[in-house]
Structure formats: C-alpha cells, structure tokens
Structure 1
Amino acid sequence: MIKLMRSRKAPRPPRLPNGVRIYAFGDIHGCVDLLRNMFTVIDTDLARSPIDRPIEVYLGDYIDRGPYSRQTLDLLIERSRSRETVFLKGNHEAYFLEVLRNPNKVDEWRQFGGLQTLMSYGLNPPLNPTAAERIDLIAALKAVMPADHLSFLRGLTPSFICGDFYFVHAGVRPGVPLKEQQESDLLWIRHEFLDSTADFGKFIVHGHTPVREPDIRTNRINIDTGAYATGNLTLLSIQGSSMLPV
C-alpha cells in the first residue's frame, strides 16, 4: 500500500493588527543626528501613507559610546509628547542606573562608553579617578542631570508585544515562555539566543549585537547596525506582515 504524504503548510508570517504600523529603532547610542534623520523619514512616510495607529518602538541603548547621550534623551522625551512611543530598557540604561547607585562601577562603565555620556552632560571626568573622585563625579552627574531624564530611565520597560511580534533589547532565552523570561536575559543574552532556531511563540525584534545589515531569520530580526561606529541607524517599518528596514 502506498501512503499519501500530506503537504506541510508554510508557517503563517507574523502579523500586526489591522490599522497598526510600527516603526522600530535599533540601538541609538548617542547618535542624535541620525535619530533626527529617522524622525524625518517617519514623518514623511506618515504624510504620504497615513495609518490609524502609528507606534514608535525603541529597543534600548540610547546612551553611551556616541557623543550625544544627553541630547538623545532630550529628543526622545520631546518626541514622546506628540507620538505614541514605547521605550524599552537596554543593558546600557540598566548599567547607568547601577552607576548612579554605586559610583564604584564608574571604571567598568567607562569601558561601555560611559565617558562619552559624562561628557555629554558637560562633565570632565579624570582618567583614573580615586574612590573619592568617583563619588564626587556621580554626585556632579546627579546635580546636572534633568529630572525628566531620570524619570525616563526609570520608566523603561523590558519588552513589548504587539500582534505576533515581541520587541526586546537583546533577545530571549530559548525554552523559557515569554511571560517567564528574566530581565537579565532580555537585556544581555547573546549566543544562546542568536544561535537558536526555536519557535519562541512570537517573532522577536531585537538589537544589542551589532550586525553589518539587518539580520532577518525565521524567528527573529536583529536591527542593531552599530550606529555609533558605522553611521547607520536602522529603522524597521512593520505593517501587516510586511517588514521593511530603512
């Protein structure tokens, strides 16, 4: 007897709800001029093709490395006043808050690009600060940091779901339901997530690990194109099941 093989249906592509368009940003890292350019791209796109509910989703890492962290936060806060925005927490924002609580972490923060952030607030940190100088430096940072910057950083969320899409800074841990993910993984994970071909239950949109161009896989897309080093800040437009990197 010959058995007839049933053909497998191709998996349904992830979709957003009708009437929603999402503009997702990769890691900005203090590149305020590139961010302004992308705002122009969005506004031009909406003028040409309006939609009921445009949402801007930012994947974290707004600060450090690039030269204009303070100015980037100013611009994001201003943007949020007139747009529907979702701001996710990146590992750099998490570490920044840790430094504010514990000045002894300043030296490690500098290796993550914290020196550029301090300078964007008008500070001139010593090259090898003593313990007392680290305390004074963070006290000076708190004194010049606008209150709305601190509120912004404390209000960041670790993830965002819309339709079949799950937005997060770094990724998710394979084998763990999305509702049970640990924040440390959402902010820091790399190879266990990047090497996985698992179905995560949602299509993951993330940054954190720089790539030359947007990396589209069957279960995820990475849109961190290393803006501070390459001058290329990626914006991803999603509508229905269409994903268009800019």
Structure 2
Amino acid sequence: MKQVLERANVRENDTLIFLGDYVDGWSESSQIIQFLIKLSQKQECIFIKGNHDAWTEDWISLGNTPEVWLNNGGKSTVDSYYGYSLEDREKHLEFFQEMHNYYVDEENRLFIHAGYSSMHGPEKEVYSSNYRWDRTLWETAVAMDRKLEKNSELYPKRFLLYNEIFIGHTPTLHLGIKEPINKANIWNLDTGAAFTGALTIMDVDTKEFWQSDPLPSLYPDEKGRNN
C-alpha cells in the first residue's frame, strides 16, 4: 500500500476511493487497517466494504470464524491481531462498520467491491451480500459482444445506470492479465494482490495507473491466498 501510494505521488488534496478487501491473506492485515485509519485523518478517503472485510468485522464483533474464511486468508488476519488490546480492536471494528456498500460520485461513476444484479441499481438490490459477492456484473461485461452498442435492446440495462463502474473482487489474473481491464463501461481494478499479482491505484479521470511490486516479492516468506 505504501509503495503504490508513493509511486502514484498521492497528495493530501487527492480523494482516495478504496474498493475493499483490505484484509486478504497477508500477515499485515491489522497493520493495514491501522494505516488506513491514520490516512483517513489526513485526507478524504472513501472505503468500500469487501467480503473479506465483512468476515473480519463478524470475527471481531461476534467471534465468527467460518472455515471458508480461515482457508482464504482469514487465519493470517486473525494472527495479525495477536497482542491487540480490546480498545484497539473496537476502533478497528468501528472502522469496518463505517465502510460503504458502494459509492457514486458527482460524475455518476459507481464504485463497488463486487457488483449488483438488479437492473435498477445497487440501491434496489434485494440481497445486500451482492455488493461484496456478485460476479455476474463482471462476467456479463467479459462475455459481451464488443460490437454491441449502448442503444441496442440487448445492451445490459444495469450497465446504463452509470457512466462508469469500478470494481474489485474478481482478479484480472483469471484472464491472464496483471493490469486493470476495461470491458464495456466497467473497470476491474483487482489485479490479484491477494495472490501473485500487484496492488493497483488508478486516476479515474485519466485512467493512468500505478502498481506495487508483485506481493510475493514483498513478502517472500509468505504464500498469501491459494489461487
């Protein structure tokens, strides 16, 4: 995180929008939350909640430890909180609880961790878990015919609700690509930092982006999550 912020030359007057999964399989999960809390005190930050963040929130507040989470980065997250006081854990819990499900800016650009299924947009979503789990938004974009025009009756109606949509959750590594991918009006910025990829930050106006070194090179003694 520190590396990519430095490479992007982020200034205190920049607005930073994070797409979620801050705690996702590496040893410094709790430290990244502490870092983000301090960062948000210096400049405007908008934090979207990812599925791994929701899992961690449930663990801190309720003690829930589902096997699917522990086997997908959760154990590293739990271990990273060893030695934390109850007061510090409560501060982190408050941070998770205050995260957004999604965010729409003044340019009608949607920022969401995973996606939504409702053709009326995320505010009409029946299952709030889709904010953190849905892959159909991205799968539809990937499968679309590139020649399909926006005025076509076949163009996905939920895409037309926003000028652009920025997501995470589904690594671009699944398509064999290590950089952000644009399909239709959707930008996928999950470049696989939970696995063997890098962490990416993008200027959403210019589409210029910067990346950290691949995570295994930064944490050579760790495995991250299993792909």
Structure 1: which 5+ residue stretches go unaligned? 1-34, 48-52, 124-140
Does structure 1 retain, via aligned residues, the 8 Å contact 2:19–2:111? Answer: yes
Q: Distance in 2 between the 1:208 and 1:156 partners? A: 16
Q: Bigger CA drift: 160-169 or 195-204? A: 195-204
Does structure 2 retain, via aligned residues, the 8 Å contact 1:226–1:232? Answer: yes
Residue 230 of structure 1 deviates from its aligned partner by 2.1
Does structure 2 retain, via aligned residues, the 8 Å contact 1:60–1:89? Answer: yes
Residue 244 of structure 1 deviates from its aligned partner by 1.8
Q: Bigger CA drift: 223-232 or 104-113? A: 104-113
Which residue number in structure 2 is paired with residue 245 of structure 1? 209
Structure-2 change in CA distance of 1:183 and 1:46 (3 Å): same
SS at 2:161's partner residue? coil
Query: Size of the alignment, in residue pairs?
Result: 187
What code does the residue aligned with 1:66 have? Answer: W
Q: Computing the radius of gyration over CA atoms, which structure comes out larger, 1 or 2?
A: 1
Which residue number in structure 2 is paired with residue 207 of structure 1? 168
Does structure 2 retain, via aligned residues, the 8 Å contact 1:65–1:113? Answer: yes
SS at 1:216's partner residue? strand
Which residue number in structure 2 is paired with residue 151 of structure 1? 94
What code does the residue aligned with 1:194 have? Answer: E
Q: Distance in 2 between the 1:226 and 1:173 partners? A: 23
Which residue number in structure 1 is paired with residue 133 of structure 2? 188
Is 1:176 paired with 2:112?
no
What code does the residue aligned with 1:56 have? Answer: L
SS at 1:54's partner residue? coil
Which residue number in structure 1 is paired with residue 54 of structure 2? 94
Structure-2 change in CA distance of 1:145 and 1:112 (3 Å): farther
Q: Distance in 1 between the 2:123 and 2:90 partners? A: 32
Structure 2: which 5+ residue stretches go unaligned? 145-155, 211-227
Residue 178 of structure 1 deviates from its aligned partner by 3.7
Residue 229 of structure 1 deviates from its aligned partner by 1.9
SS at 1:64's partner residue? coil
Which residue number in structure 1 is paired with residue 150 of structure 2? none
Q: Distance in 1 between the 2:33 and 2:180 partners? A: 24
SS at 1:194's partner residue? helix
Identity of aligned pairs, percent? 27
Which residue number in structure 1 is paired with residue 183 of structure 2? 217
Residue 207 of structure 1 deviates from its aligned partner by 0.3
Residue 65 of structure 1 deviates from its aligned partner by 0.7
What code does the residue aligned with 2:96 have? Answer: L
| Alignment deviations for residues 106-159 of structure 1 (CA, whole Å, 9 cap, x no partner) | 433212211101111127xxxxxxxxxxxxxxxxx7737433211101111101
Is 1:226 paired with 2:192?
yes
Is 1:122 paired with 2:86?
no
Which residue number in structure 2 is paired with residue 11 of structure 1? none
Does structure 2 retain, via aligned residues, the 8 Å contact 1:223–1:234? Answer: yes
Q: Distance in 2 between the 1:217 and 1:97 partners? A: 32
Which residue number in structure 1 is paired with residue 26 of structure 2? 66
Is 1:57 paired with 2:21?
no
| Alignment deviations for residues 155-177 of structure 1 (CA, whole Å, 9 cap, x no partner) | 11101111131000001215233
Residue 209 of structure 1 deviates from its aligned partner by 0.5
Does structure 1 retain, via aligned residues, the 8 Å contact 2:165–2:185? Answer: yes
Which residue number in structure 2 is paired with residue 13 of structure 1? none
Which residue number in structure 2 is paired with residue 37 of structure 1? 3
Structure-2 change in CA distance of 1:219 and 1:105 (3 Å): same
What code does the residue aligned with 2:43 have? Answer: R
Give the counterpart of 1:235 among 201, 210, 220: 201
Structure-2 change in CA distance of 1:229 and 1:178 (3 Å): closer
What code does the residue aligned with 1:74 have? Answer: Q
